[in-house]
Structure 1
Amino acid sequence: MAGYSLVESNSFGAENWCLKLQPSYKHGLLTGLSNGEIHLLDWTTGKSSQKIKASETAINDMKVIGSDFAAGHLVSSASIDAVKVFDIRTNSRIAKIQNEANSPFISLDSRHGLLACGTELQGIDAAVHIYDIRKWDTPLRSLIDSHHDDITCIKFHPSDVNVLLSGSTDGYTNIYDLKQDEEEDALHQVINYASIHSCGWLSPKRVYTLSHMETFAIHELNDKSDELKEPQPLDFGDIREAWNCDYVVDVYPGLIATGKTQESSGELRLLPFNDEKINNENCIVIPHAHGDEVVRDIFIPAQHSDMLYSCGEDGCVKIWKSNQGPLNTPENFWDYSKKMNVLGEDDREASVNLEEPLIIQRESVSTRPRKEKHKKAKKHSVKSRFKPY
């Protein structure tokens, strides 16, 4: 059943894929393009009100600094040349972050006054660099030995500043305890699944993994007292037949977005997803949402859940309005305001203890000292869909 009607469509040209959407409710909706541009879009018309030329190559990932979607004015972008931070109020670049290995950046996340950046494999190096957003000159720390292929996804734990996860095409999703000084000690848990397209936190102690082969699973977070008893994951396996789709766009609070390719009908489907269960019977279908092209991202505003924004490889950002009233999807997977100690340790003072971030006034360039890395056997995996950029 078709549940949405098209309100507006804004095209950036068929050759310019629209790869990512990020809200800044006070300023507009941000989209990153494959031509290296970031556009700030009007919420009502979808038209571009501002353009930032962030790179000469694709915006591999994009994130509002601090996940401050209410009023945030700093946006970060990851591309082949660098991670860059822009102030959308003035269209000025605040920082440019590079690494000594000159590895391309392909993933980002920002919470708790921190920015985490993941790199593509360069030689034997695929690294996670973590920055204090008040000081871009040098990383707060770098994790360089835990992945041995492209780091495609990074997520801070929304309720625990000391916990971070990263997913890679090496098949591993790693969970780090940032209170531990040494990387070997900080690597708290390794989930061996498949080449990761997306991963994240469904609840304070539950992690999802979505692979490039369209397999999906949910895993339990180990705590410090239970390291030897990792429960079996809830493994959905290959979901394409069960969910009547060709690919999964991503996992969002209250729903999973899926799509069909040009060989099928080009549908965008929204599957209700609550209590770790998919509701196929009540899915919402948008036929030919982006023609024959892949949908890259969707966004449903917190206060206007009868509206939906989508972007795709047809170069368009589209605005849809529900024919059935608000979806009432939650803004977050849970209440992020309550701080937690999810690894179950005694209450020790956090090694990352930041005050309210200061406004960044100047530009700086980051490098890190290079550390010898032990070479690991590379785990080969085939991506059946599309590159992350």
Structure 2
Amino acid sequence: MDVSKVFSETASSAPSEIPGSYVYSILPIEGERLAALTSGDELLFLDKSGLKTVSRHQDDVPKLVSCMVGCEDGKNVVICAGGDGLVAVFDTRADQQVSYFHIDRAVTALAYHDHGVAVGSEVAHSQSTVSIWDIRQNRMRWQSSENHDDITALQYHPSDHRILLSGGDDGLVGVFDTTIQDENDSLIQAFDHGPIHKAGFLSDTAIYALSADQQFSIYPLNTPEANDGGVIQPVLFGDLRPTTQCDYVIDILRDLHQPYVVAGSNLSDPHIDLIPLTTNPRFSLSTQNVVRVQRAHGEEIVRSAYLDRSAETIFTAGEDGCVKSFRDTDRSVEAAEQRGSSVKETKKGKGGRFKPY
């Protein structure tokens, strides 16, 4: 691996009040904050700068909480759900739960867009369900039961929000047109990848799938609009662990500028790597310009990672119960020095005034 940047820890907190809890996931919300979901059935809001807890919710959080989703644009809705079938909607601006609804089985995956919550369930009676609920009216408006094991991944298409992707422990990835009520007709694409750990859209025309045994592939979205009717072959990467020299794969960061494979090592040399996934002329992993987060969470597994490009900061959460932030400290010092030099130069203008920029 050609490591071009090394990020070092800048802040750390263990925000849970429940002993032994670890942090399932983190996501950005408005107001320079993070939402964090813990195994102690807590939803926490943290400030990004020092990772201090701003507020804590537990009584109004689902039991055996398992998943959380927010708005794609990071605004003021966070939704979480769990093993009791409760789906709870929080307004982060008002810092309170504003609505909720129940399904008849454990919830294992969520997606959200424009008042529509996609809910994936645990298997019951040899079948799991994917449903869409309108949170303004708390009523179901669409449902499918194509999978035969727990649903583990859900995502709306990045631009055509009629389209919903699901993935499950049975290995099936399905793509649905949710404007079609008939289950059989609404399924527009399906393929078998292996037990799904992560799956979603890399772009308007590309689907990624990562299995529980770290097998990674990118598949074309096979709709006439996506590929003009031509047949495009999937890109099969196989087991990512030898390629990325890691112990496990955490996630695929679907960054607008540059997607990354986030790979973790927690044994002899604890760290995580952000490995660029290039797209031209075809999808491939680049061993150049790898971003490394030193130490990360030590010997504990990293469960979630988020890249804040505006702050040039990587946030992580793990099974040690900690949320951490990391930055390229050498670059930060260099940038500060450059800013200081620039200020000194601009003070040389007439009358000691700053020159316009």
Which TM bucket (shorter chain)? Answer: 0.7 to 0.9
Q: Does 1:308 align with 2:314?
A: yes
**1:134-161 deviations in Å (ceiling 9; x for gaps):** 221x2111112x1010000100002002
* Equivalent of 1:86 in 69, 87, 90: 90
**Number of aligned pairs?**
317
Q: Does 1:77 align with 2:80?
A: yes
Q: Is the 8 A contact 1:249 1:259 kept in 2?
A: yes
Matched residue, 1:140: 141
Q: Which moved more, 1:223-232 or 1:278-287?
A: 223-232
**1:52-103 deviations in Å (ceiling 9; x for gaps):** 1144644321112x4341xx2221002111111122333432222212xx31
- Between the aligned residues of both structures, percent identity stands at 28
Distance in 2, matches of 1:68 and 1:132, equals 19
**1:296-331 deviations in Å (ceiling 9; x for gaps):** 111122422x211111111000011113649xxxxx
Q: Does 1:30 align with 2:44?
A: no
TM-score by length of 2: 0.83
Q: Does 1:297 align with 2:304?
A: yes
Greater radius of gyration (CA): 2
Q: Is the 8 A contact 2:165 2:174 kept in 1?
A: yes
Matched residue, 1:362: none
Distance in 2, matches of 1:60 and 1:18, equals 11
Matched residue, 1:7: 10
Q: Is the 8 A contact 2:293 2:326 kept in 1?
A: no
- The structure where strand makes up a greater share of residues is 2
Matched residue, 2:152: 152
Matched residue, 1:245: 246
Matched residue, 1:201: 201
Distance in 2, matches of 1:166 and 1:205, equals 16
Distance in 2, matches of 1:169 and 1:271, equals 26
Unpaired runs of 5+ residues, structure 1, are: 327-389
Matched residue, 1:279: 286
For the aligned residue pairs, the C-alpha RMSD in angstroms reads: 2.1
Q: Is the 8 A contact 1:131 1:141 kept in 2?
A: yes
Q: Which moved more, 1:146-155 or 1:108-117?
A: 108-117
TM-score by length of 1: 0.77
Q: Which has the higher contact order (CA 8 A, sep 6+)?
A: 1
**1:228-248 deviations in Å (ceiling 9; x for gaps):** 975331000011111101111
Distance in 1, matches of 2:49 and 2:228, equals 50
- The structure where helix makes up a greater share of residues is 2
Matched residue, 1:214: 214
Matched residue, 1:107: 109
Corresponding letter in the other structure for 2:275 = L
* 1:183-194 superposed matches below 5 A: 183-194=183-194
Q: Is the 8 A contact 1:19 1:59 kept in 2?
A: no
Distance in 1, matches of 2:160 and 2:229, equals 23
Matched residue, 1:363: none
Unpaired runs of 5+ residues, structure 2, are: 333-357
